[in-house]
């Protein structure tokens, strides 16, 4: 018996390995001592066929399924099954956690599914335990009926129990490229210390995936772990991938005080929430946190209310000002093309861009398990079969091609997002220079030329013509080298 765990992204960009898969791999090897391997195809450079060939040597295959990777996950399972029908294919991850038994019913190639926390269920499967006793397991009964065991979430989380040796080739030179240049010279490591989010943003599936709970590691255990990684791996910078690092500000203050008391010399980045208290931010800064990111999503009070963010534009500006006063490098996460969004709302959003050192602008997507999805189902705009329809792109953008009542086509929307990036690249050349040095000059030149091109339908169509024929590949390689987003 052995186990292969796969994060099946084969196209697009993946910036960090799946810490969830590392937690599972570490638990299985520790508890059972069987051979375990973790594959990150996009980061390790494996092709679809290479992953299938590797899977031939494994009895149990675990696949992490996200909405964006749902079709490639199923295609991979089908290809693996063709190499040996005795293989056990197990799916987990956000997409199947939200859909539950309907996913297993739709895809007979999947033998078992695990919803939410996966360690106990996965260990039980490998040990041959009775399926009925395994929390979160979804399986077929003797009569073929789909059975969904209740989800049980442990109050204590073990996000820190990770053996990075599983992906040593990925993390050896891994970097968080959104930080200033002075931090890029340090050795980086992705890490998680908590799970879940207690807030109810309507576009996010986290409330359902985590049961509305925030579960965090004890501060003393986290500092012990950080000290160990600094000592053994020479880590100088941690990128925390917690959904909301500062959900419990009392624990965060305790953590910062411990880092300061132990004189742990390290830098780190966390995601905060608009409205995080100033005294908490002051302690984070003193403890070595130099970078904070937070989801603004929109600058429109109207949309902030509709989207369930629970904050106002005024609070956004106040949090920005506090972070700037304290000297943080700040990263803003935004969403374009919400349902009910108009041009004034977008201008309100764009007006906030100038305050941030780095921007991450996303095209609004619909995910299963979100409040927006339930609203669309109630309005008969969507139904569950949507997620199994191969004519619908994996990326479920709120665009005219997929939703007839959307305001923009995919092409129009991406064009507007690209123009926003170009404008901010030109206006924030100083920040880009701090982060990328002389390469920032390439960003500046590219962004100015690209913005002019985007404003012209003729030039824009010509660029797409060249892209379809592969003529722009050398340019993309050059831009990737310079860390320019090649829209």
Q: What pLDDT digit, counting tens, does each position of 405-460 carry?
A: 999 888 888 888 888 877 777 767 776 676 667 667 777 777 787 777 777 777 77
CA distance 187 to 237: 6
Average pLDDT over the chain reads 90
Residues 219-246: b if buried by 16+ CB within 10 A, e if exposed: beebbebbbebbeeeebbbbbbbbbbbb
Q: What is the pLDDT of residue 482?
A: 56
In Å, what is the CA distance from 116 to each residue of 26, 31, 66, 146? Answer: 17, 20, 13, 18
Q: What is the pLDDT of residue 454?
A: 77
Percent of the chain at pLDDT exceeding 90: 71
Q: What is the pLDDT of residue 390?
A: 95
Start and end residues for every CATH 3.40.50.280 domain found in the chain: 3-148
Among 265, 267, 255, smallest CA distance to 179 is for 267
3-state secondary structure of 61: strand
CA distance 49 to 95: 24
Query: Could you tell me the pTM of the whole model?
Result: 0.89
CA distance 96 to 115: 7
Q: What pLDDT digit, counting tens, does each position of 87-96 carry?
A: 999 999 999 9
Q: What is the pLDDT of residue 57?
A: 95
120-129, 162-171, 210-219, 359-368: least confidently modelled range: 210-219
190-199, 450-459, 468-477: least confidently modelled range: 468-477
Q: What is the pLDDT of residue 434?
A: 66
CA distance 419 to 427: 12
pLDDT band at residue 235, thresholds of 50, 70 and 90? very high
* Domain 3-148: CATH architecture, name and number where available: 3-Layer(aba) Sandwich (3.40)
Q: What is the pLDDT of residue 475?
A: 66
Start and end residues for every CATH 3.20.20.70 domain found in the chain: 175-359
Q: What pLDDT digit, counting tens, does each position of 37-76 carry?
A: 999 999 999 999 999 999 999 999 999 999 999 999 999 9
- 175-359 maps to CATH 3.20.20.70: yes
């Amino acid at each position: 018996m052995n186990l292969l765990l796969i994060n099946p992204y084969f196209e697009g960009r993946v910036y960090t390995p799946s810490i969830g898969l590392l937690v599972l791999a570490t638990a299985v090897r520790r508890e059972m001592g069987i051979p375990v391997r973790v594959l990150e195809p996009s980061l390790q450079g494996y092709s679809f066929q290479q992953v299938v060939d590797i899977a031939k040597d494994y009895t149990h295959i675990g696949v992490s399924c996200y909405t964006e990777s749902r079709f490639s996950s199923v295609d991979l399972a089908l290809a693996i099954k063709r190499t040996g029908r005795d293989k056990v294919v197990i799916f987990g991850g956000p997409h199947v956690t939200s859909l539950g038994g309907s996913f297993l019913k739709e895809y007979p190639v999947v033998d078992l599914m695990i919803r939410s926390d996966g360690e106990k269920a996965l260990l039980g499967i490998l040990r041959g335990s009775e399926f009925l006793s395994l929390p979160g397991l979804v399986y077929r009964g003797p009569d073929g009926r789909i059975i969904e065991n209740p989800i049980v979430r442990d109050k204590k989380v073990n996000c820190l129990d990770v053996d990075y040796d599983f992906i040593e080739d990925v993390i050896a030179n891994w970097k968080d490229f959104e930080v200033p240049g002075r931090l890029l010279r340090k050795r980086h490591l992705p890490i998680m210390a908590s799970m879940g989010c207690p807030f109810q943003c309507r576009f996010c599936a986290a409330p359902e995936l985590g049961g509305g709970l925030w579960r965090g590691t004890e501060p003393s255990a986290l500092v012990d772990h950080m000290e160990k990684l600094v000592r053994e791996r020479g880590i100088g910078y941690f990128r925390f991938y917690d959904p909301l690092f500062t959900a419990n500000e009392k624990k965060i203050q305790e953590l910062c005080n411990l880092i300061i008391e132990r004189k742990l010399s390290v830098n780190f980045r966390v995601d905060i929430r608009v409205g995080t208290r100033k005294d908490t931010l002051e302690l984070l800064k003193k403890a070595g946190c130099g970078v904070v990111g937070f989801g603004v999503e929109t600058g429109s009070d109207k949309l902030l209310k509709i989207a369930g963010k629970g904050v106002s534009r005024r609070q956004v500006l106040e949090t920005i000002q506090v972070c700037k006063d304290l000297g943080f490098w700040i990263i803003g996460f935004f969403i374009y093309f919400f349902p009910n969004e108009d041009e004034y709302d977008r201008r309100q959003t764009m007006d906030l861009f100038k305050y941030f050192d780095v921007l991450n602008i996303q095209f609004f997507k619909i995910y299963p398990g979100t409040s927006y999805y339930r609203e669309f189902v109630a309005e008969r705009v969507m139904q569950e079969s949507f997620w199994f329809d191969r004519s619908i792109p994996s990326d479920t953008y709120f665009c005219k091609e997929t939703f007839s009542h959307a305001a923009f086509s995919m092409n129009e929307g991406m064009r507007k997002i690209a123009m926003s990036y170009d404008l901010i690249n030109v206006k924030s050349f100083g920040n880009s220079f701090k982060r990328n040095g002389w390469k920032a000059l390439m960003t500046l030149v590219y962004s100015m030329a690209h913005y002019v091109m985007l404003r012209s339908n003729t030039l824009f169509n010509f660029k797409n013509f060249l892209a379809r024929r592969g003529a722009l590949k050398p340019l993309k390689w050059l831009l990737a080298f310079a860390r320019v987003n090649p829209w």
